[in-house]
Amino acid sequence: MNYFEHHIGDYDADTAHLSWLEDMAYTRLMRLYYRKEAPIPADVSDACRLIRAVTKEQKQAVESVLKEFFTPGLDGWRQKRCDADVARYQAKAERNREVGKLGGRPRNVGTQTKPPGLFVGTQEEPKPNPLQSPDTKHQAPEPSTKEQDTDAIASAASAKPPRAGRKCPGSFALTPELLEFAGKFPTVDCQAETEKLRDHTFKNAISDWPGAWRNWIRRAADGAQQTRASPMSFAERDELAAIARVHEMTGGLVSAKPFTPRRPDALQEVFDARTAARKMDHVAVRPDASALRLGLVEQVERG
């Protein structure tokens, strides 16, 4: 046992008549009793050695305390209160081991008796021996409530779910199922969108982060589709028209400045439009075709 309760009021009520050496001897004997979970050795000299009583006065104090607060037995000096506390601790330790093997926390079992002597005046009458309750580092002191047994071992199965938050937790990772889902949206940069999700602060707290990630990818795919489907600006149309005109007038011999439209088929649409217009207003005779081509080339190179 690594812990036991020491109620000062009750202890002082029973030991106020002891000398300083006797009080120290009694305290050390109690600690030895609980630590060993066994009676004090029957040989007084052995008891003195275990609690480091070396002088004549210290040894006399040990013998005096043993005779007043302990009862000699076949296996050593016993004390009823200590024996009861040790037995109670050992029963709890055994129950906790069984609970740990089963992997669960036991249910509340009826009512718990209120430990006597929690404060001075809360018990009927001081006991012959100071009130002390044992425990270990695995146990908290017994509460006076009937709600739960605080000495039970919690199981891993009863772990709390992740707390909801407004920022994506660092533990969030893409599972094979999520990567398979992302494969349905080839136009979305999965890695880049995941980083955006991690940096984003949501308005409301979220606990289902895989679901939030899937919705994020869907919105990214919708945004990419809208970008591709958006109409070209007037500047883009004018630039494409100029490229098509140069291509038409030079017979494809001169290429204008490269242009990357937002839509892959935008350039083809302009060429089709220019071809239709040429059929409608085609001019059969050009006064000086070579000079016209040269002028267009110079204009394109300057622009």
Tell whether 75 is covered by a domain. yes
- CA–CA separation, 153 vs 147, rounded Å? 16
Strand partners, 201: 167
Is the same domain home to 131 and 37?
yes
* The domain boundary residue, chosen from 211, 229, 247: 229
Domain-embedded: residue 256: yes
**pLDDT the model gives residue 245:** 72
pLDDT of residue 192: 87
Judge if 58 and 173 occupy the same domain. Answer: no
What gap in Å lies between CA 79 and CA 63, rounded to an integer? 15
Per-residue pLDDT of 128-183, as tens digits, reads 555 555 554 545 555 544 445 555 444 444 545 567 788 888 888 888 888 888 88
The pLDDT-based confidence of 267 (bands split at 50, 70, 90) is low
Same domain for 108 and 17? Answer: yes
Q: Which domain holds residue 105?
A: 1-155
Domain-ending residue, one of 155, 188, 209: 155
Q: Who wins on pLDDT, 166 or 229? A: 166
Q: What sections of 37-148 are H helices per DSSP?
A: 44-50, 56-69, 80-102
Strand partners for 6: 132
Q: Are residues 86 and 150 in the same domain?
A: yes
Number of domains within the chain: 3
Inside any domain, residue 26: yes
**209 lies in the same domain as 250:** no
Among candidate residues 197, 213, 229, the one where a domain is terminated: 229
Torsion from C-alpha of 32, 37, 42, 46, nearest 10 degrees = -40
Confidence of residue 253 (pLDDT cuts 50, 70, 90): low
Please name the helix (run of DSSP H) or strand (run of DSSP E) that holds residue 212, with its range, or none: helix 209-229
Same domain, 206 and 71: no
